[in-house]
């Protein structure tokens, strides 16, 4: 009874969050956020209610997840304490300044994640994995078509939810923000890779093939350096996972990425298409695209002859080394910045020299977030300053300065971890990160390829979230990835 009920609950939750949630939209930025918020709460209510019934009749088979339950409980407790010590009532509960990502939303998300874990592991359940993958990829292709049509400057009758500003469509996809569209496709891509490896199921393989191309295209047209970096990270992690077991599928994905890059380049020729500064910066380095094509084509030819070969072994080590460099990037940035008095304004210096303009002016926001965190008293440093804590402090002490410096006006840290550190303190950020790291570890060490792919998607989502506005639209997907 428990197995059948938990499976039914997951299918309902999957359909709502994988199909309805990404597609539902409105024609205004905040309305898109609020419309999806309603869908999120409906799905969460069903998940929590259903999992509660399952737990009441459980036979105690969930002892392997006690650590996740303990960390989730500590995170929830830290949110409650955060509310009690800051006491701004509705401001904390709703979080209107942060697109309604207040305590009510975070408590709902945390409880939903715990409930999803309580419903058991999905490993070795190929049919459930295939249903999940089909729902996600079909919806992803639909969102991709909408995004591409908007990208080239068309939205007949406003049917696709774009916003007109000075005769130009400024938002992409069904998320009201092009950066969120990129985040979504970063999350989609690993599951497209899983679809490609669905042996014996030609429909899912074909869907994975198309979805990998669409997702790579979506990441590029998002025009966000954070989502492009996240996409690069998941390509490296997938390479480490797949080059010794599924090299052919990996090289096909690499080829599709190159084709997507070329496709986006062709789209930019259309006069009404959006300008892509990221694509233009990469385009002036044709060697990047040439290497992608050569590696993928040579890899496909060799992998068809033998799954294990020296070429794949070399590429595996390159992926591992590149991922290692990405992981030590903060150290490299600190060392490089301390070695230079100013930015020499070269490609590498723009990447490694940290100042207020680093990362499209994110440097100023991140410095402000760190200062706001340190300005709190010891209790606030431990439990946080509450939802909108960063925004209120930033507007008070840093906003006017940023305008005088010519920076883009913001009241969001554009880094979920720094913003959580300010607003939910060391305890809130620490327990939340520990929970996610444990889920990633379980996924990457699983024998089931779907679980490993899902963990890669979570890694990509976390990397992208380091550069995006903190909003319920992206956080709502978290429960699907744990």
Residue that has been written with the tokens 């903060």 in this structure: 330
Kindly list the distances between the CA atom of residue 464 and the CA atoms of 21, 34, 179, 430, in Å, as whole numbers in the listed order. 20, 22, 9, 19
Q: What percent of the chain has pLDDT over 90?
A: 48
Domain edges within the chain: 2-61+121-332+446-480
DSSP, collapsed to helix, strand or coil, labels residue 165 as strand
Q: Which of 178-182, 271-275, 384-388, 392-396 has the lowest mean pLDDT?
A: 271-275
pLDDT single digits (tens) 10-60: 899 999 999 999 998 876 666 777 888 999 999 999 999 988 887 776 665
Residue 168 has pLDDT above 70, yes or no: no
Confidence bin at 157 (pLDDT 50/70/90):
low
- CA–chain centroid gap for 75, Å, is 21
* First-last CA distance in the chain: 24
Instruction: Look at 351 and 300; give whichever has higher pLDDT.
Output: 300
pLDDT single digits (tens) 371-398: 999 998 999 999 999 888 888 889 888 8
| 8 Å CB contact between 71 and 438 | yes
Residue 123 has pLDDT above 90, yes or no: no
pLDDT single digits (tens) 79-118: 999 888 887 777 778 877 777 788 899 999 999 999 888 8
| 8 Å CB contact between 273 and 151 | yes
Confidence bin at 280 (pLDDT 50/70/90):
low
- pLDDT for residue 316: 94
Cα–Cα distance measured from residue 251 to residue 253, given in angstroms and rounded to the nearest whole number: 5
The torsion angles phi and psi of 61, rounded to 5 degrees, stand at -85, 10
Confidence bin at 1 (pLDDT 50/70/90):
very low
Cβ-based neighbours of 456, under 8 Å, separated by 6 or more: 190, 234, 237, 238, 241, 443, 444
Average pLDDT score over the chain? 87
Q: Nearest 10 degrees: CA dihedral of 44, 48, 49, 55? A: 160
Q: Note the pTM of the prediction, 2 decimals.
A: 0.92
């Amino acid at each position: 009874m428990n197995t059948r009920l938990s499976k039914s609950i997951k299918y309902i939750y999957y359909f709502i969050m994988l199909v309805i949630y990404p597609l539902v939209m409105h024609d205004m930025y905040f309305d898109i956020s609020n419309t999806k918020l309603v869908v999120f709460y409906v799905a969460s209510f069903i998940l929590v209610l259903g999992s509660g019934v399952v737990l009441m009749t459980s036979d105690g088979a969930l002892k392997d997840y006690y650590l996740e339950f303990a960390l989730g409980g500590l995170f929830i407790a830290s949110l409650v304490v955060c509310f009690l010590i800051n006491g701004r009532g509705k401001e904390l509960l709703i979080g209107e300044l942060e697109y309604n990502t207040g305590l009510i939303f975070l408590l709902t998300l945390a409880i939903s994640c715990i409930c999803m874990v309580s419903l058991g592991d999905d490993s070795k359940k190929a049919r459930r994995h295939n249903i999940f993958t089909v729902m996600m990829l079909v919806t992803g292709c639909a969102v991709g078509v909408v995004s591409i049509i908007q990208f080239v400057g068309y939205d007949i009758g406003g049917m696709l939810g774009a916003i007109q500003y000075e005769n130009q469509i400024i938002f992409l996809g069904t998320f009201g923000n092009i950066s969120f569209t990129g985040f979504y496709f970063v999350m989609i891509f690993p599951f497209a890779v899983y679809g490609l490896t669905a042996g014996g199921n030609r429909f899912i393989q074909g869907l994975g093939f198309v979805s990998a191309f669409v997702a790579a295209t979506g990441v590029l047209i998002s025009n966000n350096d954070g989502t492009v970096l996240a996409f690069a990270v998941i390509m490296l992690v997938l390479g480490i996972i797949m080059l010794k077991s599924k090299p052919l599928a990996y090289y096909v994905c690499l080829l599709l990425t190159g084709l997507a890059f070329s496709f986006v380049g062709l789209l930019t020729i259309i006069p009404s298409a959006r300008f892509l500064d990221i694509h233009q910066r990469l385009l002036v380095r044709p060697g990047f695209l040439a290497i992608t094509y050569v590696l993928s084509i040579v890899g496909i030819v060799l992998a068809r002859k033998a799954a294990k070969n020296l070429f794949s072994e070399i590429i595996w080590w390159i992926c591992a080394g590149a991922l290692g460099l990405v992981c030590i990037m903060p150290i490299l940035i600190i060392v490089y910045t301390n070695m230079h008095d100013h930015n020499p304004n070269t490609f590498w210096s723009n990447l490694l020299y940290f100042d207020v303009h680093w990362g499209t002016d994110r440097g100023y926001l991140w410095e402000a977030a760190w200062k706001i965190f340190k300005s709190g008293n010891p209790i606030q440093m431990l439990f946080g300053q509450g939802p909108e804590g960063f925004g209120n402090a930033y507007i008070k002490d840093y906003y006017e300065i940023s305008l005088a410096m010519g920076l883009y006006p913001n009241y969001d840290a554009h880094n979920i971890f720094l913003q959580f550190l300010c607003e939910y303190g060391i305890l809130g950020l620490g327990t939340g990160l520990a929970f996610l790291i444990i889920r990633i570890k379980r996924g990457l060490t699983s024998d089931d390829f779907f679980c490993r792919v899902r963990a890669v998607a979570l890694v990509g989502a976390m990397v992208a979230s380091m550069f995006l506005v903190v909003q319920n639209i992206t956080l709502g997907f978290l429960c699907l990835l744990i």
